[in-house]
Amino acid sequence: MGSTEEPNKPNESSSSLSEPLVSKPPLYPSVIEEPERAHSNPDESDPTQLNGKIVPKASSEGYTCVWKQDSWVPAYYTLAILTMLWSLTSMIEAQVYVISGTIAQWYFSKEDSAPKRGIRSSMRNAFGSSSGTVCISGLLICVVRIVRAAVDSARQEDTPGMVTLVLRCCVNALMSAVDFLNKFTVNFAAITGEAYCTSAKMTYELLKRNLLSAVFVETVSSRLLAGIAFVLSAIYAIVVCAILKGASKLGVDSYFVAVLAWALLIVVLGFFVHVLDNVIDTVYVCYAVDRDRGEVYKPEVHEVYVHLPISRNHRSTAVPRTPGV
């Protein structure tokens, strides 16, 4: 019988020998053609598709597609973080403004007439006519916090040199002075209703005449209230731990519960300490304004603050009397 093999069909063994031993690598466009085509027109309704694009990336395993952010994204994130920090500090300063305005209305009111709707009036001023003052104060506090964080991070790096140490001390002193002046400026603005720059100038003149007593009140009141909060929280944690030890079988977990109780109480007391600290500062500013005018609206406040040193070489020894009394 004759062979049925077709004459024009190539021999499989010869064709396999003619092929190269190393196969050709895949073409570059074939790898990224489909992803690029799929993402060439991003969905504008999806905000995640508007901050970058898919680009090819070569690696040891081959070619892959990765997401590359646009150049404006880091700047946007930085601006968003700064805006959130500014908003947070502005809300804190708004709280200080409302507390100061409410206390000032109580202080300068007559004995027979109590202020009405003091909190509502202070909130209307804080978020109304004095909103610019609150925002500027919040911006300054935000800048102070950022600079202090940068100084603290540089301190952790342990950069040697006398110049670095001197600059660090100068920056800390400057930031503390700005923070101290800004704190009383917000109190003064809430009391008088003046703009921020005018309040800062008047506060500077007020603190220049009463700097020692202002530092004494701000420092002692803050440290004393913080110490009281810490001691009360520690006593509460010890009592909780003792009760759990005697009335339950938690064992070692009772210490964990006591620590949680201590942390919770110190957070709550910290809020009240912050409010009381603002109240004390506002009452002191009201007293200083009262004394500069030669008036006495709250004699009981004068009886306490009159014993504070006004300057290094002067100390009041008598309580000023209300005119006509």
Give me the domain span that covers residue 139.
74-307
Per-residue pLDDT 10s for the chain (325 aa) are 444 445 454 454 444 444 444 444 444 444 444 444 444 445 545 544 566 666 666 666 666 777 777 788 889 999 999 999 999 999 999 999 999 999 999 998 887 777 778 889 999 999 998 999 999 999 999 998 888 888 878 777 766 677 778 888 888 888 888 888 888 899 999 998 899 999 999 888 887 877 667 777 777 888 889 999 999 999 999 999 888 888 877 778 888 888 999 999 999 999 999 999 999 989 988 988 888 888 888 888 888 887 776 554 444 433 344 443 3
Residue 295 lies in a domain: yes
What is the distance, to the nearest Å, from the Cα of residue 304 to the centroid of all Cα atoms in its chain? 34
Distance from C-alpha of 199 to C-alpha of 204, rounded to nearest angstrom: 8
29 within a domain of the structure (yes/no): no
Residues 87 and 58 sit within 8 Å (Cβ to Cβ): no
Q: What is the pTM of this model?
A: 0.70
Question: What is the C-alpha separation between 129 and 95, in angstroms, rounded?
Answer: 15
Examine residue 320 and state whether it is found in any structural domain, yes or no: no
Residue 59: what pLDDT?
63
In a domain, 220, yes or no: yes
Calpha distance 308→302 (Å, rounded): 10
Q: Are 217 and 280 in contact (CB under 8 A)?
A: yes
What per-residue confidence (pLDDT) applies to 312? 44
Burial class (CB in 10 A: 0-12, 13-18, 19+), 56: middle
* Residue labelled with tokens 């909130």: 123
Q: Does residue 224 fall inside a structural domain? A: yes
With respect to residue 148, please indicate whether it lies within any of the assigned structural domains: yes
pLDDT at 172: 83
The Cα 307–Cα 113 span in angstroms is 28
Number of structural domains in the chain: 1
Tell me the angle at which helices 253-293 and 162-192 cross, rounded to the nearest 10 degrees: 60
96 in any annotated domain: yes
Cβ atoms of 126 and 104 within 8 Å: the answer is: no
The answer as to whether 247 is a domain residue is: yes
pLDDT at 212: 65
CA distances from 241 to 100, 237, 258, 269 (A): 39, 6, 5, 19
Chain centroid, CA 106 distance in Å: 30
Nearest to 148 by CA among 186, 182, 178: 178
